[in-house]
Amino acid sequence: MPTSVFMYSEKLASFDYGEGHPFKPIRALTTLELCNRFGLLYDPGVGMAEPVPTTTEVLATFHEDAYLGMLQRADRCEHDQAMLERGIGTEDCPLVPGLYSFALLATGATLDCAALVASGKATRAFNLVGGFHHAGRDHAEGFCYVNDVCVALNRLVAEGRRVAFVDLDAHHCNGVQDAFWEDDRVLVVSLHQSGDTIYPGTGFETEIGAGRGRGFTVNVPLAPHTDDEIYLSAFRQVVPPVLRAFGPDLVIAEIGADTME
């Protein structure tokens, strides 16, 4: 069995948020082409896999039923004021044909990666079109219609696993933080540009969780244009020590294409 699995689907890569939208799933194809060009996928320890779409029932382990119903209507390009109030049809999360099918497949890819690692069939797995860490239980925001990370974390926690989520992105993982704010079974660690200067305006160092989850949320807000040396220093001083202290069974990492701006 390969030790590393590269999850890829042409259906994910070809999904288009619309002209002018900054989020481009096609970058998954570009990444695949670069990996092929440099021979990174030819090693016997590396395998490729095609994801299987998840189901509405699985999405409902995190998202509200009413919201999922709205997304299914949006998939058919139906729209109304109630959907707009949930973030569907905004500039960030536009009304695009097939958006629900896209969400099911993207979440399925993340779940497949988690299952491969949790079962011991791989030591690491990479979903090129995943990490939609802004979506809430009942709304879309920040290019994210559903939160594949929270769905995967919920499944792993239900299996009795201790999980850490490490988020390396210019934007704070507000959706994931909110979901596990009072949960001590998931460690949420985020390095990001300070909410004083960028969306979503959260993720300050004082945000550490509450109740049973107090101390299980760790935020490292950084100044705009933080250079490599400072970024790496912050990472090394925070992430490895808290992971060692928490002792997770596995780690989910969201590695943004825009780690810092």
Write out the catalytic residue numbers. 134
Residue with tokens 């990444």: 31
Instruction: Give the DSSP H or E segment for 164.
Output: strand 163-168
Instruction: Give first-to-last CA distance, the chain, whole Å.
Output: 38
Joined together, the tokens standing for residue 132 give 């939609």
Nearest in space to 64 (alpha carbons), one of 125, 14, 139, 170: 139
In contact, 138 and 179? CB cutoff 8 Å? no
CA distance 23 to 257: 10
Bond from prior residue into 94 cis (ω within 30 degrees of 0):
no
Structure token pair of residue 179: 């979901």
